């Protein structure tokens, strides 16, 4: 199934995780959409960045024959046969994945109806879920009917102030603020940071910021501090501030060399959480 | 060498463990209680199992005394007055426990400790009360040395329950087993979260579906031993089990099993239970002269027989010719549907059987999903559980469980192992428990991946104690040896871990 083949609203879903305890408060169903405008060096699921180009490179390597090329030259994925060995995404030369389902809101809701008794809400993530805002608006409206909350996990590339419809049906945003310094941002993200920082202020103002997340890199004292200071001074006690330790697991090899092959030391990360708290971000914590 | 000599010379057994083993040996020398030849054949094939209950039962298997009566009237036989303060209350209980028998020789039900002790705790300074309760728990762990010793708390919050949770976490002991009776209206979220935090750190308490148990038993029910629902001032006479995988081996088809083989084995198990119950009531002295009976701490009419089953997953897989467990019961709708047909058949057949005694249960036995024993290996998974090693996602596992838990008023349960991040997010577990209990789950247990105290199949052991046994050193807890067997033969500690979503956040 491809995007253009239906008049029904569909979105490319990379993964639905029935129960997650790290994507917002309580137990949540997390929906990961395919595609991201950023190309962060530290991304540890880079296969979610690009859409499949149907080059077919992954097909022969599938050990269970779950991948094929159809008559139109499109790569097809049989999710029932798939054993999630990740051979395809390791082969993919384009940071994409053939394991994407173009799903309708109804199809996603079918999964959420199953998890609804056990969850407080859903979180949409990615990739970058705000690339699918029209889909999110419909999805959230349906989820709200179940009395569940809807959180958006976003890299901040979409200007929320430009179109408030998706915020109107969502309970809040978990915003990544990855780098504040311009040079460091440009190295790390390959995307302008202005919209991210604008969103930080806007979401605070409209009271829709649930959490900000910043990754702490080993040995990057100055860069880490600049970002943490900037965020902490703005958010104060208004939302959670999740200080995330950089972990090399899953990071593309060439970037591991640049960013480091070690996980950020817990005590080192804790220093920045303490700094954030000292600047008023009282709900700063390390994961 | 004789069996007695083997026991007496075994350096890994403690003195008490030797005593129990010798008593079992002595009991096995009498064959007054006889069953049909067909029963012995079925037992020899491994289709029926008596859980080594012994040839000559001299007490009911599980006894749940009425401790409220003890506190109200005292005990004449033990010359105990009703307690007037916390020290006396704890002392009265400790003395009484020493005289409550069971299949394990230790009491399998210690009472609703929060309800019993709360009036006394409230009269004391909190620190003093905590000190007394600490000694009380230490006494239990070191004297009632058996993990089937079980205490209950809840559904409402109390100072006593909070102190017990604090101490449970601080002391890290395997004994006693502990259950929270959970009711979404009577149990506050704050109290439930405190229980979850404690559960992650010490594998207890488990969460019992209070509404479900009350509907079946009334308010006065106990959770005893592993997870057994029974009546307070009563208990369970006996618990044999059908090993459903072995029961299915001669069946030519699922239909043949449902129509013929299953019935054959159910009849034999019922014959065994009827004879045994009559023997316990009519021949052994317990119901005639034990002070628990004569003083009304237990009443004959409140006992029932527990009709056990084990290995439903392997039974269904075998009947459908499924060799790969990953495609079988729990993951395969056809296998799960067959499981439901089998359980429906067992439920209605047992419900149609007029049992001797068992007055409070309308002269009926009640079903029990037996949790497995150390020698089961991988042939029969506990009760109706999905086999260890092929568990699907937690969501799917809960959905399957919810279909099967309602069949078993005398107990069933499942266990979920969580990884470390859940320590920081206990509020992510509460909605899972709430949702599953509302959907028909009877009993929820959890523990953290890397703890020393872990839940094996239904009971708790310390991994460090299993290590002692491996080094041929004695373990005070009688149950450690079962934990070692279940770990080696049944991979019971290798169950699926519920992970956080690893790709989020970076």
Kindly list the structural domains of chain B, giving each domain's residue range(s) and its CATH number in brackets, ordered by start: 1-30 (no CATH), 35-60+228-412 (3.20.70.20), 61-222+413-500 (no CATH)
Check: CB of residue B177 under 8 Å from CB of residue B148. Answer: yes
Percent of chain B with pLDDT over 90: 90
Check: CB of residue B316 under 8 Å from CB of residue B339. Answer: yes
**Listed residues A91, A113, A146: the one ending a domain:** A91
Measured between beta carbons, the chain A residues lying within 8 angstroms of B432 are: 19, 27, 118
Is B121's pLDDT higher than 70?
yes
Quickly state the pLDDT bin for B501 (edges 50, 70, 90). low
User: Could you give phi then psi for residue A51, rounded to 5 degrees?
Assistant: -85, 150
* Structural domains in chain A (count): 2
Q: Report pLDDT digits (tens) over A98-126.
A: 999 999 999 999 999 999 999 999 999 98
State whether residue B398 sits within 8 Å of chain A by CB: yes
How many A/B residue pairs have CB atoms within 8 Å? 81
Name the nearest CA neighbour of A210 among A247, A160, A245. A160
Q: Give pLDDT, residue A33.
A: 97
Gap from B501 CA to chain A (nearest CA, Å): 6
Of the candidates A18, A26, A117, the beta carbon closest to that of B427 is on A26
Measured between beta carbons, the chain B residues lying within 8 angstroms of A212 are: none
Residues with Cβ within 8 Å of B305's Cβ and at least 6 positions away in sequence, in order, are B236, B237, B238, B239, B273, B276, B277, B355, B358, B365, B366
Q: Report pLDDT digits (tens) over B135-163.
A: 999 999 999 999 999 999 999 999 999 99
Gap from A56 CA to chain B (nearest CA, Å): 25
**Listed residues A91, A113, A147: the one ending a domain:** A91
Q: Domain with A183 in it: what CATH number?
A: 3.20.20.70
- Optimal mutation site among A14, A27, A40, A42, interface B, most CBs of chain B within 10 A: A27
Name the nearest CA neighbour of A11 among A31, A36, A33, A28. A33
Tokens (6 digits) for A33:
């959409």
Are A229 and A272 within one domain? yes
Measured between beta carbons, the chain A residues lying within 8 angstroms of B421 are: 21-22, 287
Q: Give pLDDT, residue B505.
A: 39
Is B503's pLDDT higher than 90?
no
Of the candidates B430, B435, B505, the beta carbon closest to that of A22 is on B505
State whether residue B430 sits within 8 Å of chain A by CB: yes
State whether residue A64 sits within 8 Å of chain B by CB: no
| Cα angle B422-B423-B426, degrees, rounded to a multiple of 5 | 70
Give, for B132, the enclosing helix (H) or strand (E). helix B126-143
Which chain B residue has its CA at the smallest distance from A287's CA?
B421
Are A8 and A121 within one domain? yes
Q: What is the ipTM of this complex?
A: 0.91
For each of chain A's 287 residues, which pLDDT tens digit applies?
444 444 478 999 999 999 999 999 999 999 999 999 999 999 988 999 999 999 999 999 999 999 999 999 999 999 889 988 999 999 999 999 999 999 999 999 999 999 999 999 999 998 999 999 999 999 999 999 999 999 999 999 999 999 999 999 999 999 999 999 999 998 898 888 999 999 999 999 999 999 999 999 999 999 999 999 999 999 999 999 999 999 988 898 888 888 888 899 999 999 999 999 999 999 999 98
Q: Which of residues 405-424 of B touch A (CB under 8 A)?
A: 421-422, 424
Are A38 and A66 within one domain? no
Q: Is B436 close to A287, i.e. CB distance below 8 A?
A: no
Q: Report pLDDT digits (tens) over B412-447.
A: 999 999 999 899 999 999 999 999 999 999 999 999
State whether residue B425 sits within 8 Å of chain A by CB: yes
Are A273 and A157 within one domain? yes
The dihedral through the CA atoms of B428, A234, A49, A134 has a sign that is: positive
Q: Give the integer Cα–Cα distance in Å for B458 and B190.
A: 26
- Optimal mutation site among A22, A64, A256, interface B, most CBs of chain B within 10 A: A22
State whether residue B438 sits within 8 Å of chain A by CB: yes
Of the candidates A17, A28, A247, the beta carbon closest to that of B506 is on A247
Name the nearest CA neighbour of B48 among B267, B365, B227, B287. B267
> How large is the average pLDDT for residues B488-498?
84
Of the candidates A19, A117, A153, the beta carbon closest to that of B438 is on A117
Are A196 and A75 within one domain? no
**Listed residues A91, A115, A148: the one ending a domain:** A91
> How large is the average pLDDT for residues B52-79?
96
Are A149 and A66 within one domain? no
Is B495's pLDDT higher than 80?
yes
Domain range for A84: 59-91
Locus of tokens 């209605």: B348
Q: Is B421 close to A21, i.e. CB distance below 8 A?
A: yes
Q: What is the 3-class SS of chain A, one letter each residue? A: CCHHHCCCCEEEEEEEEEEECCCCCCCEEEEEECCCCCCCCCCCCHHHCCCCCCCCCCHHHCCCCCEEECCCCCEEECCCCCCCCCHHHHHCCCCCCCCCEEEEHHHHHHHHHHHHHHCCEEEEECCCHHHHHHHHHHHHHHHHHCCCEEEEEECCCCCCCCCCHHHHCCCEEEEECCCCCHHHHHHHHCCCCHHHHHHHHHHHHCCCEEEEEEEECCCCHHHHHHHHHHHHHHHCCCCEEEEEECCCCCCCHHHHHHHCCCCCCHHHHHHHHHHHHHCCCCCEEEC
Quickly state the pLDDT bin for B500 (edges 50, 70, 90). low
Q: Is B395 close to A42, i.e. CB distance below 8 A?
A: no
Are A124 and A190 within one domain? yes
Q: Give pLDDT, residue B220.
A: 97
Q: Is A250 close to B503, i.e. CB distance below 8 A?
A: yes
- Alpha-carbon B230 to chain mean position: 11
Name the nearest CA neighbour of B497 among B446, B463, B453, B457. B446
Among the residues of B172-323, which ranges form H helices?
A: 189-202, 210-217, 244-248, 254-256, 262-282, 286-289, 291-294, 312-319
Tokens (6 digits) for B180:
């929270």
Are A190 and A164 within one domain? yes
- Optimal mutation site among A16, A17, A19, interface B, most CBs of chain B within 10 A: A19
> How large is the average pLDDT for residues B217-237?
98
Q: Give the integer Cα–Cα distance in Å for A44 and B243.
A: 47
Are A140 and A245 within one domain? yes
Q: Is A21 close to B394, i.e. CB distance below 8 A?
A: no
User: Could you give phi then psi for residue A209, rounded to 5 degrees?
Assistant: -100, 110
Quickly state the pLDDT bin for B1 (edges 50, 70, 90). confident
State whether residue A245 sits within 8 Å of chain B by CB: no
Are A112 and A246 within one domain? yes
Q: Give the integer Cα–Cα distance in Å for B86 and B121.
A: 6
> How large is the average pLDDT for residues B350-378?
94
Q: Give the integer Cα–Cα distance in Å for B154 and B191.
A: 9
Q: Report pLDDT digits (tens) over A83-104.
A: 889 999 999 999 999 999 999 9
Are A186 and A208 within one domain? yes
Q: Is B506 close to A44, i.e. CB distance below 8 A?
A: yes
Q: Is A120 close to B431, i.e. CB distance below 8 A?
A: yes
Are A29 and A157 within one domain? yes
User: Could you give phi then psi for residue B369, rounded to 5 degrees?
Assistant: -90, 95
User: Could you give phi then psi for residue B125, rounded to 5 degrees?
Assistant: -65, 140
Measured between beta carbons, the chain A residues lying within 8 angstroms of B192 are: none
List b or e across B379-401, with b for residues whose CB sees 16 or more CB atoms inside 10 angstroms: bbbbbbbbbbebbeebbebbbbb
């Amino acid at each position: 199934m491809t995007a253009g083949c239906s008049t029904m609203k569909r979105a490319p879903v990379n993964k639905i995780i029935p129960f997650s305890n790290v994507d917002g408060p309580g137990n949540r169903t997390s929906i990961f959409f395919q595609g991201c405008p950023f190309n962060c060096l530290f991304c540890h699921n880079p296969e979610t960045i690009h859409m499949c180009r149907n080059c077919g490179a992954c097909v022969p390597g599938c050990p269970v024959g779950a991948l094929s090329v159809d008559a139109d030259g499109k790569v097809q994925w049989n999710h029932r046969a798939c054993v999630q060995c990740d051979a395809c995404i390791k082969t993919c030369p384009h940071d994409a994945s053939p394991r994407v389902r173009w799903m309708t809101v109804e199809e996603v809701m079918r999964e959420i109806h199953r998890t609804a008794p056990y969850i407080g809400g859903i979180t949409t993530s990615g990739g970058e879920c705000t690339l699918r805002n029209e889909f999110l608006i419909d999805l959230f409206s349906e989820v709200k009917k179940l009395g569940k909350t809807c959180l958006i996990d976003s890299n901040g590339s979409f200007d929320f102030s430009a179109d408030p419809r998706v915020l109107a049906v969502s309970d809040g945003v978990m915003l990544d603020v990855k780098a504040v310094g311009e040079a460091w941002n440009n190295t790390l993200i390959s995307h302008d940071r202005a919209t991210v920082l604008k969103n930080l202020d806007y979401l605070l103002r409209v009271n829709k910021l649930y959490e900000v997340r910043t990754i702490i890199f080993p040995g990057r004292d100055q860069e880490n501090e600049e970002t943490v200071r900037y965020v902490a001074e703005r958010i104060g006690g208004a939302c959670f501030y999740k200080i995330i330790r950089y972990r090399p697991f899953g990071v593309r090899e060439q970037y591991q060399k640049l960013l480091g092959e070690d996980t950020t030391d817990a005590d080192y990360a804790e220093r920045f959480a303490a700094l954030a708290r000292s600047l008023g971000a009282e709900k700063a914590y390390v994961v | 060498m004789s069996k007695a000599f083997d026991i007496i010379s075994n350096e890994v057994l403690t003195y008490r463990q030797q005593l129990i083993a010798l008593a079992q040996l002595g009991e096995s020398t009498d064959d007054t209680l006889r069953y049909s030849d067909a029963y012995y054949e079925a037992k020899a094939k491994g289709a029926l199992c008596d859980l080594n209950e012994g040839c000559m039962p001299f007490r009911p298997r599980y006894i749940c005394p009425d401790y409220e009566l003890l506190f109200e009237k005292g005990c004449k036989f033990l010359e105990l007055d009703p307690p007037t303060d916390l020290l006396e209350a704890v002392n009265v209980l400790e003395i009484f426990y020493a005289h409550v028998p069971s299949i394990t020789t230790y009491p399998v039900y210690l009472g609703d400790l929060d309800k019993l002790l709360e009036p006394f705790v409230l009269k004391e300074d909190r620190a003093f009360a905590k000190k007394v309760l600490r000694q009380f728990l230490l006494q239990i762990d070191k004297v009632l040395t058996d993990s089937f010793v079980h205490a209950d708390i809840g559904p409402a919050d109390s100072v006593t329950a909070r102190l017990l949770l604090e101490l449970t976490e601080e002391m890290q002991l395997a004994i006693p087993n502990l259950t929270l009776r959970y009711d979404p209206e009577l149990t506050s979220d704050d109290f439930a979260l405190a229980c979850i935090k404690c559960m992650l750190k010490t594998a207890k308490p488990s969460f019992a579906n209070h509404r479900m148990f009350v509907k079946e038993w009334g308010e006065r029910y106990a959770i005893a031993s592993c997870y057994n629902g029974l009546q307070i001032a009563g208990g369970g006479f006996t618990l044999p089990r059908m090993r459903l995988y072995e029961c299915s081996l001669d069946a030519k088809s699922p239909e043949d099993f449902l129509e013929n083989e299953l019935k054959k084995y159910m009849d034999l198990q019922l014959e065994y239970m009827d004879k045994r119950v009559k023997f316990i009531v009519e021949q052994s002295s317990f119901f005639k002269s034990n002070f628990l009976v004569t003083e009304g701490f237990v009443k004959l009419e409140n006992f029932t027989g527990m009709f056990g089953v084990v290995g439903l997953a392997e039974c269904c897989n075998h009947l459908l010719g499924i060799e790969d467990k990953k495609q079988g019961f729990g993951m395969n709708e056809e296998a799960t549907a067959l499981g439901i047909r089998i359980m429906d058949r067992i439920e209605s057949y047992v419900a149609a059987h007029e049992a001797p005694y068992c007055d409070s249960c309308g002269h009926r036995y009640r079903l029990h999903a037996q949790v497995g024993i150390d020698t089961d290996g991988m042939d029969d998974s506990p009760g109706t559980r999905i086999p260890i090693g092929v568990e699907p996602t937690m969501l799917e596992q809960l959905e399957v469980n919810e279909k099967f838990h309602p069949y078993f008023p005398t107990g069933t349960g499942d266990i979920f192992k969580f990884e470390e991040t859940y320590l920081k997010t206990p509020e992510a577990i509460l909605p899972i428990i709430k949702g599953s209990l509302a959907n028909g789950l009877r009993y929820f247990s959890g523990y953290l991946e890397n703890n020393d105290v872990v839940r094996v199949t239904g009971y708790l052991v310390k991994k460090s104690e299993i290590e002692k046994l491996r080094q041929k050193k004695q373990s005070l807890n009688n149950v450690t040896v079962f934990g070692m067997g279940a770990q080696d033969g049944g991979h019971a500690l290798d169950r699926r871990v519920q992970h956080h979503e690893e790709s989020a956040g970076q």
